[in-house]
A and B are shown apart, each in its own frame.
Chain A
């Protein structure tokens, strides 16, 4: 133990700055992983309906696409079962200045007024018998608060089912029937009896299935986020490797002496592994604490994405449990331990008779570059093969494996790249930068083992930045083009209040005629959207005026599909078009037949075409409005698209519509505003991606500073010698800065090449298999060039301190240390 303290901990203390930088790298890596995990849990873990606090726990629930016919309830209660059947209507109420809160319609035995959860009442400073004004769909209504409902932290409102049906204009319809079985009731028998009493198109599921469904639906999203969060940890791992490798190189002599004095190989191995564990553990402890703090910031961003793209969720408080903390500690420490294995094994194999000089060690590494390059080729081939694999359990496991293999291949190719670039640029560099340039280039090539790791770490961070940048840039460009084809109307109307991707507030049926009568309006496309389930997955069923879409829209279909012919074939037919994610998710192609349970029947639809769509990866099935209303006659409109006559001023028409619809709580948005809003949502959705990338880059920068400092300290004797041989302090400083410049250049070269490969994998494999979108390849060249330049500048800036240290070394002291 004492030996460990002297030989391992003392050097860590002596190189306090380097130790601190390494610990900080691990801490940031772990913090990001912990933060994303905690924030993901908080943002998506609140699907459990707060209704449970009002009606108690339930066992089964009945649902149906398009709603349940209320008459079904009568059939169910007459079953010879000891069970309670609770009809439920679920919607959103908009409260001015507060936003949307869940509204439940349940059987309150005709009790009038509205129930309010205590947390909501507390927030609004309201008490029983106070008045509450809310907007339901597009209509404002006022209620008296009858009582407060107990709840720990959920905010919601409850109406008697009859009042809810009236207020929401859903006479005779229910969203759900919750079933509670008596303890002595046989579950399987009850399930069979209920199933038999229901139309086949109705679903009967155990309570909680929907929450599980939500988690399943978000799995791809969370997986991708998690993968991104691991980048910083991987970059941190490379730095731990570097720190331990430097330790081993610097202490080869020491190790030889220890071996000669009787230290066993295992003792040497454990010494270095302990050093890594100490660094990993301290970094992880700091990382867990930092991650908890970062999670507070990340939860809002993730919740917003979940709401925009997937389903409504209200962020729960971030909570760091023992499990999560242990996981963070374990991840950081394990990564540190694994990273240190190779250099520690190398230390273990130092023979007692040999305190091999760095030159020989590095020379051996130099001789191994061909072997490393061969392995890189093998990994690249495996990456190509893995990219062709089909998804496993809906997850692009092959895609992830392919990304990891490609990163591994790039890491193994790093020595060859360093040598090749060094050889190719040798003469130019010497001509441009003189002797300092020559020394810098030679030193990097000579310290190949070390240089390769720094280049590999930086290149990985740059590659991830570039690939995610290309993915997001391409996606944005694709969405821009898509918005252009999708948003063809001049004005759009929707109910007031923000909703999640799965929630569709209703518009009054009276609106369309009012709007159509406004002068300047050419056509009004009334759209009806509702959430439905298909093969256990949720999607959106929509009905619009396909004839208007055909005449005015530019909807794009998959290659080889004739837009005009497809759209002409829809009206009056049981035919539908489906979005690309829906088709990919369910393996549907043009001409296939899909059967959608709709109300009491099952509707068989022929897929007329598959169109590009980027607003939701759950997918859309679109029918002609006439067809939808034939099967769901009471389905209210949810959006209205207004086309104006040529030469009409949209602002003037908007004002006129606002005047004529003043009694309705609606939002009228011009085309441009909707487009801007869509892009704002897009940018906010990817904000967290950029934040994660930024952390990975910061970790890599810390690593670069750390490694350059190590390089200086390790070569201080050589630097001192150069002063003896006539080098000026300025020459030494320039040399270190040039080395940093080369490192940055090499890392950028390798990083961009790897980034390009990774972007192809992300766009065509991981994204396609996770989300089902076709993204056109549009690298954001200017942004990438700026980012790469910024990283390069940061690398050189990171070298300022090591260069200063190098220039200030006392040559007399360092040369006589031996």
Chain B
């Protein structure tokens, strides 16, 4: 029996409207991601990478086609169910880190657990910080960290609730080489150690290199998939 893909996109298209005019961003994208795999979306700016990540993370919905998480279409979920899916099964990492400036490092990591009403939040958060080697910065404020450190905190936060799917949008786009390499190692570990399915959008060949599959997008269409 063929295992159900963790994430599957079936002939997904997305069209925005700009001043009333249709603005197609994605055309009939079909893609399946196996559990625990790492897939890189590569292509130029504006090719639709971020839109595809948002569709995959149930933050947005396709104009046509279907996005399935473990075989379940996101379009059929109610707003409350979608919130639960985001809380429990998805983790996001952004190019600009997106830490909450009002919260300390440890509190930032705790947020997904807090939102889902978990009773134990401090221990799992500390464990993830230990993993990203920032335990000593637990009580620092985000602005006191370097870019690389902030992104490591963001990865810890994205994985604190052990999500099935980790979506990373240009995770090294704002980092120096050494920090970038450190972040990529963590993403690899995320898949290997926590069993997360990783989908990352990137410009960087180094980032793309950690993926088992590289999906090249061009003008909203899949140009190639390597290895095929």
Residues of A within 8 A of B (CB): 357-360, 362-363, 434-435, 438, 442-443, 445-447, 717-718, 721-729, 731, 811-812, 815-816, 818
Partner among A721, A726, A729, A816 whose Cβ is within 8 Å of the Cβ of B100: A721
Q: Are A816 and B50 touching (Cβ within 8 A)?
A: yes
Known contacts A725-B157, A728-B79; decide if A438 and B115 are in contact (CB<8 Å).
no
In the complex, are the beta carbons of A442 and B102 less than 8 A apart?
A: yes
B102 touches A725 (CB 8 A): no
Interface-central residue, A435, A446, A725, by most chain B CB under 10 Å = A725
Q: A726-B112, A728-B80 are in contact. Are A721 and B98 (CB under 8 A)?
A: yes
A-B contacts counted at CB < 8 A amount to 74
- The closest CB in chain B to the CB of A446 belongs to B102
**C-alpha spacing A723/B60, complex, angstroms:** 12
Contact A435 B57 (CB under 8 A): no
Complex CA distance for A722 and B87, rounded to whole angstroms = 10
- Contact pick for A812, options B59, B101, B102, B143, CB 8 Å: B59
- One digit per residue, 1 when the CB lies within 8 angstroms of any chain A CB and 0 when it does not, for chain B 112-134 equals 10111100000000000000000
Instruction: Report the bound CA distance from A723 to B98 in whole Å.
Output: 12
On chain B, the residues within 8 Å of A811 by CB distance are 59
Query: Which residues of A are found within 8 Å of B143, using beta-carbon distances?
Result: 357, 359-360, 363
Q: Once bound together, how far apart are the Cα atoms of A726 and B98, in whole Å?
A: 14
Q: Is the CB of B79 within 8 A of A724?
A: no
Question: What distance in Å separates the Cβ of A456 from its nearest Cβ neighbour in chain B?
Answer: 20
Indicate whether B83 reaches chain A with its CB closer than 8 angstroms.
Answer: yes
Q: Please tell me which one of the listed residues A359, A721, A724 contacts residue B141 in the complex, with CB atoms under 8 A apart.
A: A359
Asked whether A728 lies within 8 Å of B83 as measured between CB atoms, the reply is: yes
The answer to whether A812 and B60 touch (CB under 8 A), given A359-B141, A717-B98, is yes
Task: Flag if A363 contacts B100 (CB, 8 Å).
Answer: no
Question: Nearest Cβ distance between residue A423 and chain B, in whole angstroms?
Answer: 14
A818 and B96 form a contact (CB under 8 A): yes
Measured CB to CB, the closest approach of chain B to A402, in angstroms, equals: 37
Tell me which residues across on chain B come within 8 A of A357, comparing CB atoms: 101, 143
Contact partners of A435 in chain B: CB under 8 A? 114-115, 117
| Residue among B94, B96, B101, B103 with most chain A CB within 10 A | B101
Contact of A727 among B54, B115, B142 (CB under 8 A): B115
Query: Which range contains the number of B residues in contact with the other chain?
Result: 20 to 34
The CA-CA distance from A446 to B100 in the complex, in Å, is: 10
Interface string of B136-175 (1 = CB under 8 A from A): 0000011100000000000001000000000000000000
Q: Find B115's partner among A362, A363, A731 (CB 8 Å cutoff).
A: A731
- Asked if residues A446 and B101 are in contact (CB atoms below 8 Å), the reply is yes
Min CB–CB distance B103 → chain A (angstroms): 6
CB<8 Å pairs between A and B, sample of 5: A446-B103, A724-B57, A811-B59, A816-B50, A818-B96
Contact A718 B115 (CB under 8 A): no
**A726-B50 CB under 8 A given contacts A359-B142, A442-B103, A447-B102:** no
Q: Say whether B86 faces chain A, with CB atoms less than 8 Å apart.
A: yes
* Assembled-state Cα–Cα distance A112/B114 (Å): 96
Expressed in whole angstroms, the minimum distance between the Cβ of A275 and any Cβ of chain B is 25
Instruction: Give min CB distance, B78 to chain A, whole Å.
Output: 11
Which residue of chain A lies nearest to B114 when distances are taken between CB atoms in the complex?
A435
In the bound assembly, the distance between CA atoms of A358 and B88 in angstroms comes to 30
Q: How far is the CA of A715 from the CA of B138 in the complex (A)?
A: 23
Q: Which of A445, A729, A815 contacts B98 (CB 8 A)?
A: A815
Q: B residues within 8 A CB of A723?
A: 59, 86
Contacts of A728 in B (CB 8 A): 79-80, 83
Given contact pairs A717-B98, A723-B86, A729-B79, enumerate 20 new A-B contacts (beta carbons under 8 Å): A357-B101, A357-B143, A359-B101, A363-B143, A434-B117, A435-B115, A438-B114, A718-B100, A721-B98, A722-B115, A724-B59, A726-B88, A726-B112, A726-B115, A727-B83, A727-B115, A728-B79, A728-B80, A811-B59, A812-B54
Contacts of B94 in A (CB 8 A): 815
- A725-B92, A816-B50 are contacts. A718–B102 as well, Cβ < 8 Å? yes
Q: Which residues of B contact A363 (CB under 8 A)?
A: 141, 143
| Contact A722 to B111, CB < 8 A, known contacts A434-B117, A728-B80 | yes
Indicate if the CB atoms of A725 and B115 lie closer than 8 Å.
Answer: yes
**Least Cβ–Cβ distance between A32 and chain B, in angstroms:** 37
Q: Please determine whether A718 and B101 come into contact, CB atoms closer than 8 angstroms.
A: yes
Tell me the bound Cα distance from A121 to B213 in angstroms: 103
Give the residues in chain B near A358, CB-CB below 8 Å: 101
How far is it, in angstroms, between the C-alpha of A249 and the C-alpha of B193 when the chains are bound?
A: 42
B111 with A725: CB separation less than 8 A: yes
Q: A362 touching B101 by the CB < 8 A rule? A: yes
Point out the residue from B80, B86, B101 that lies within 8 Å of A725, measured CB to CB.
B86
Tell me the complex Cα distance, A243–B113, Å: 35
Tell me, rounded to whole Å, the shortest Cβ–Cβ distance linking B68 to chain A: 20
* A359 in contact with B102 (CB, 8 Å): yes
Smallest CB–CB gap between A454 and chain B, Å? 16
Q: Which residue of B lies closest to A435 (CB)?
A: B114
- Which residues of chain A have C-beta atoms less than 8 A from B157's C-beta? 725
Instruction: For the complex, give the distance between the alpha carbons of A434 and B59 in Å.
Output: 24
Residues of B within 8 A of A731 (CB): 115
Q: Quote the shortest CB–CB distance from B3 to chain A (angstroms).
A: 26
On chain A, the residues within 8 Å of B141 by CB distance are: 359-360, 363
Return the chain A residue nearest B102 by Cβ. A446
CA distance A438 to B118 in the complex (A): 14
Please measure, in the bound complex, the distance between the C-alpha atom of A223 and the C-alpha atom of B107, giving whole angstroms.
53
